[in-house]
Structure 1
Amino acid sequence: MSHPHPELDTPPELQPGTMRIVALGGLGEIGRNMAVLEFNGRLLVIDCGVLFPEDNQPGVDLILPDFEYIADRMDDIDAIVLTHGHEDHIGGVPYLLKLRADIPVVGSRLTLAFVEAKLKEHRITPVLHPVKEDEKVSFGDFECEFVAVNHSIPDALAVAVTTAAGTILHTGDFKMDQLPLDGRITDLRAFARLGERGVDLFMVDSTNAEVPGFVTPEREIGPTLSSVFGQSEGRIVVASFASHVHRVQQVLDAARDHGRKVALVGRSMVRNMGIAADLGYLNIPHGVIVDLKDVNSLPDNQVVLMCTGSQGEPMAALSRIANQSHKISVGHGDTVILASSLIPGNENAVFRVINGLMRLGARVVHSGNAKVHVSGHASAGELTYCYNILRPKNVMPVHGEVRHLIANGAIAVKTGVPAQNVILAEDGVVVDLVDGQARIVGAVPCGYVYVDGSSVGTITEAELKDRRILSEEGFVSLFAVIDSATGKVIAGPQILARGFAEGDDVFDDIRPQIVAALEESASNGNTDTYQLQQIMRRTVGRWISSRLRRKPMILPVVVLA
């Protein structure tokens, strides 16, 4: 099984009157959020995002949820409900719609605009169903009520899903900023109304459950940005997520106040901010935006470059600027602002970029040394408020690593939720809700699905292991020809090594041992080339391990003449 709980069996057949919840991503990790709800043989999908690869997944572009659980039930899906427009919640939608293109895609206006632009790149024409807060819509047996929540992107929604089995409230990503830039707060009055009616299962964002207190208001970032702008003499480069509309708004406002022009860098940044501006979510001060090609005609002290790459992504603009492979350059007197927090697992990549930029002479401002970012996720104090307002019967922490889920569950218990009613599940674990009680009933396969260029799902852990070996340990190819009549080695062994500091002559000591091992096996009547190749592999592998302390990939070839 590819889920983390091998002790769990395949779930039983779903009984009438029961709602089943299966997380296919987002539980035990930060990313690829996706939950599947089932009732009366029909399915409702909440979010379908991607996870970005770590250093130990070389060559991988994206990681998708595992659709195997629903692949043969695509006609049973009534809708895909999207809580907001971040990649870890919408990035997998094109890959799901390739299995069935006419599934209704439900979300707020901005969320659907981001999705539609993404789907155009995949040549998919979606069936879009825009909704807004306080709206109720039914998809088959699933009655969905949408609630405004505040997050680091505009137009985020929580969704309450009601069937005859009960009501589930899924928050998506949210926080309780009381002074948001757009004035759109998390609607706690709606939460209270739902609590009065009864929430049978509360699926709640866990990302900041370990952080005490309350998240800093977004408005406090503005003065810090303005101060940094005022202290900067050269160019300013600001890196953020391509969907962080609020952060871009603050950069535009600071640029206006300090007499600077802003150029958007990167296709996704240009596309998303264009959409946000067209829909009225981004207010662009007159004359502040300029085309990237016009930047070099401006004095450095009038330039702001807004780009992607705040997580150290190797192909994003900021990484390429740091390694001097981008047409934009920075140097002494320039300032780079990383206006985002570190996603777990990206630390090394981000610090590599910071070091590269500072080596070029730039001043780097980041969340570790200035208040240039606030989280979009509710901290422990905010979660406590939500539990006290809702008084849910059962709680299932979502969106977070295992430590976040456990911390969130502990908060629920402190507010009075019985410990046995807190469901700590991970990807693939199956939860059934019936008669007001949620319980784990089994698990389904739920592995990583890797996107590698145009390849989707064909890269396995075995291939990734080979890539890691190649990148870390090197490669050795061996070639020998054996006379099938005499069993003597008549050519070779030729040894070609790559990724070794030592010269090829270091292998001179092992050649006689290879010849002896091959001839001994052949003299005993062994004419199986595969077995002879394995003998050569083991002989060389043991020698390299003991002599060079390496475990390279070894590719042996034996030819019988």
Structure 2
Amino acid sequence: MKKKSKKNQIPALKDNAVRIVPLGGLEEVGRNCNVLEYQGHLVVVDCGVLFPEYDQPGVDQILPNIDYLKNRVDDIEAIVLTHGHEDHIGAVPYLLKMRKDIPVIGSQFTIALVEAKMQEHHIVPNTKVVAEGDVNKIGPFEFEFIAVSHSIPDALAVFVRTPEGNLLITGDFKMDQLPIDGRLTDLRAFAAAGEEGVDLLMMDSTNAEVPGFVASESDIAPVIDDVIGKATGQVMVATFASHVHRVQEIINAAAHHGRRVAFVGRSMVRNMDIAEDLGFLDVPDGVLIDMRDMNSIPENRRLYMATGSQGEPFAVVNRVANQSHQKISFGKGDTVLLASSLIPGNETSVYRMINNLIGLGVNVVSSRNARVHVSGHAAQGELLYAYNIIQPAYAMPIHGETRHLVASGSLALKTGVPQDNVIIARNGSVVDMVDGESKIVGQLDFHNIYVDGGSIGEITDSELQDRTTLAEEGFVAVIAVVDGQSRQIVSGPVIQGRAVAEDDSVFDAVLPDVTEALQDSLEKGDDTYGMQQAMRRSLGRWLGRKLRRSPLIVPKIVEV
């Protein structure tokens, strides 16, 4: 397999080369974004967000490295979206804030979700709806759209014809043979692309470590029906707000057992309204009820369809578990069904939520004790089929952590892709294709762009480290007043802490050392910064040695 290139050795793009730059989605599961370039023309394929981990406190979302496009926005021909999940569309508003008239191209359901999202950002997007089988000329590229099955309706792969070779970008997909909506992954179109020639295959790698085949979504319908049928009290089902197929199964089960369904949570209500309006969700008459009217029916006929399966602090399920929801309360005899996967990194919050629910006497059903979820991503068996059907000249796995990409690359080798033609790229890798041959030619200095409330890109990694330190180790301030002319200490130092020790009197033991360090710094003629650092070093050594703590230390010198 080809090795990664060193940073910041990026040659100019030659006139006879197509450049592919992943701005997210590699070495991680999220913020998928790939930029195609030829002779100054750019097309962005997907533009999603990554959700923060525990060591990124205060961060709402993490964007792809769209700073790469800041000085090139006028060269962008279009944003092409494979499907409507947040990790593929969530960053579109931030790219459109750079230039609002960039065409946004996607399937009917994907575009409907994008347009709803744009309303929150007060942007009227320039959208275009496409369907499987459509062929569109976008700048120097020709895009052919291919139907794929996934855990959201209307997902597409894209076969891209370029002057220097053909690319197939699968987006997220699986080979569900009995999909809820009857829409199969179009293997005939994959085969046709292979017959024409796929010079570079960029394929979903999320489940590349999982043996065999992913079960059909229809396989879990009887389990969900059984759980709802056996429930004696209220039922709440939590899943992703975009998983229309799962919601359809739940509505069918609710109708079968005479329950009324209320959608709870803004994103759930919005997405299901869109899905029903467009015909992707079939709701029998008399099943839906407004949440405000739920108390008018018996508890054993209530079913709440909600978000919050990942233990999000302010989501419906967690508020019910914490008994902080104003309108919904659950207890003994009620059932909560978590009909989704557990995203790595969310274990602590999810298990805390489950424990709280069980403590209330609620029966909790999840993928840990029942088959109530199947993945939306192809496992090894399906990926092998895809590699064999398509027979790419080069393979560049996408959408996955490093272990997923390497596992997918290993599958490509088994199907006959030469070892030198398997490209294990990373975020910011620069891949050039010339006459059908692809290779990594450089590496961008990739960085995270954090959304923190109204702040976009202003929070740095070092500031996040300070936040983490503050949360885990506490805060200590040390303040002193000095006479800049006489080089003497006028007042202090005074040390105050928060969440470090039970009482500030514990710092009395280190005051002589900090005072001596400050006096030495004064005598050496240090400036304000130097004096502050002298106090920080002295205090930091003592805290580590005596209290075994590494709090955030903020020194302050006031000169008079």
Provide the rounded CA distance (Å) in 1 between the counterparts of 2:33 and 2:524.
57
Aligned to 1:271: 270
Provide the rounded CA distance (Å) in 1 between the counterparts of 2:342 and 2:437.
37
1:331 is paired with a residue whose SS is coil
| C-alpha distance after superposition, 1:233-281 (max 9, x if no partner) | 2211111111110111111111111111111111111001000000000
Structure 1 range deviating more: 536-545 or 475-484 = 475-484
**CA deviation after TM superposition for structure 1 residue 527, in Å:** 6.5
Aligned to 1:163: 162
Aligned to 1:343: 343
Aligned to 1:390: 390
Q: 1:294 to 1:493 in 2, by over 3 A?
A: same
Provide the rounded CA distance (Å) in 2 between the counterparts of 1:6 and 1:355.
47
1:21-420, aligned counterparts within 5 Å?
21-327=20-326, 328-420=328-420
- Is the 8 Å Cα contact of residues 69 and 445 (structure 1) preserved in structure 2? no
- Is the 8 Å Cα contact of residues 484 and 527 (structure 1) preserved in structure 2? no
Q: 1:521 to 1:392 in 2, by over 3 A?
A: closer
- Is the 8 Å Cα contact of residues 28 and 402 (structure 1) preserved in structure 2? yes
- Is the 8 Å Cα contact of residues 152 and 244 (structure 1) preserved in structure 2? yes
Provide the rounded CA distance (Å) in 2 between the counterparts of 1:6 and 1:58.
32
**CA deviation after TM superposition for structure 1 residue 365, in Å:** 1.1
Provide the rounded CA distance (Å) in 2 between the counterparts of 1:308 and 1:241.
6
Q: Which runs of 5 or more residues in structure 1 are unaligned?
A: none
Q: Which runs of 5 or more residues in structure 2 are unaligned?
A: none
Structure 1 range deviating more: 49-58 or 312-321 = 312-321
Provide the rounded CA distance (Å) in 2 between the counterparts of 1:15 and 1:268.
45
Code of the residue aligned with 1:456 in structure 2: it is I
Provide the rounded CA distance (Å) in 2 between the counterparts of 1:287 and 1:554.
61
1:493 is paired with a residue whose SS is strand
Code of the residue aligned with 1:436 in structure 2: it is G
**CA deviation after TM superposition for structure 1 residue 483, in Å:** 4.8
| C-alpha distance after superposition, 1:467-519 (max 9, x if no partner) | 00110010011222335566554433322211124222211212232233333
Aligned to 1:471: 471
| TM-score normalized by the length of structure 1 | 0.96
Provide the rounded CA distance (Å) in 2 between the counterparts of 1:374 and 1:507.
56
Provide the rounded CA distance (Å) in 2 between the counterparts of 1:218 and 1:514.
65
Q: 1:121 to 1:502 in 2, by over 3 A?
A: same
Code of the residue aligned with 2:325 in structure 1: it is H
Aligned to 1:446: 446
| C-alpha distance after superposition, 1:10-30 (max 9, x if no partner) | 321112232111100001100
- How many residues align structurally? 557
**CA deviation after TM superposition for structure 1 residue 5, in Å:** 5.6
Provide the rounded CA distance (Å) in 2 between the counterparts of 1:267 and 1:278.
17
Q: 1:492 to 1:124 in 2, by over 3 A?
A: same
**CA deviation after TM superposition for structure 1 residue 294, in Å:** 1.4
Aligned to 1:425: 425
- Is the 8 Å Cα contact of residues 101 and 125 (structure 2) preserved in structure 1? yes
Code of the residue aligned with 1:348 in structure 2: it is T
Provide the rounded CA distance (Å) in 1 between the counterparts of 2:458 and 2:210.
39
Aligned to 2:504: 504
Q: 1:14 to 1:559 in 2, by over 3 A?
A: closer
Code of the residue aligned with 2:517 in structure 1: it is A
- Is the 8 Å Cα contact of residues 312 and 353 (structure 1) preserved in structure 2? yes
Q: Deviation above 4 Å: which 4+ runs of structure 1?
A: 483-488
Q: 1:389 to 1:236 in 2, by over 3 A?
A: same
| TM-score normalized by the length of structure 2 | 0.97
**RMSD (CA atoms):** 1.6
Provide the rounded CA distance (Å) in 1 between the counterparts of 2:509 and 2:49.
49
Provide the rounded CA distance (Å) in 2 between the counterparts of 1:518 and 1:218.
68
- Is the 8 Å Cα contact of residues 28 and 427 (structure 1) preserved in structure 2? yes
1:23 is paired with a residue whose SS is strand
Provide the rounded CA distance (Å) in 1 between the counterparts of 2:208 and 2:482.
65
2:145 is paired with a residue whose SS is strand
- Is the 8 Å Cα contact of residues 4 and 424 (structure 2) preserved in structure 1? no
**CA deviation after TM superposition for structure 1 residue 317, in Å:** 1.9
| C-alpha distance after superposition, 1:61-115 (max 9, x if no partner) | 0000011222111111111110000000000000000111111111100000000
Provide the rounded CA distance (Å) in 2 between the counterparts of 1:525 and 1:132.
73
Code of the residue aligned with 2:553 in structure 1: it is I
Provide the rounded CA distance (Å) in 1 between the counterparts of 2:139 and 2:80.
13
Provide the rounded CA distance (Å) in 1 between the counterparts of 2:387 and 2:533.
61
Provide the rounded CA distance (Å) in 2 between the counterparts of 1:42 and 1:527.
54
Provide the rounded CA distance (Å) in 2 between the counterparts of 1:159 and 1:512.
69
- Is the 8 Å Cα contact of residues 430 and 443 (structure 1) preserved in structure 2? yes
Structure 1 range deviating more: 272-281 or 500-509 = 500-509
**CA deviation after TM superposition for structure 1 residue 175, in Å:** 0.3
Code of the residue aligned with 2:100 in structure 1: it is A
Provide the rounded CA distance (Å) in 1 between the counterparts of 2:488 and 2:65.
52
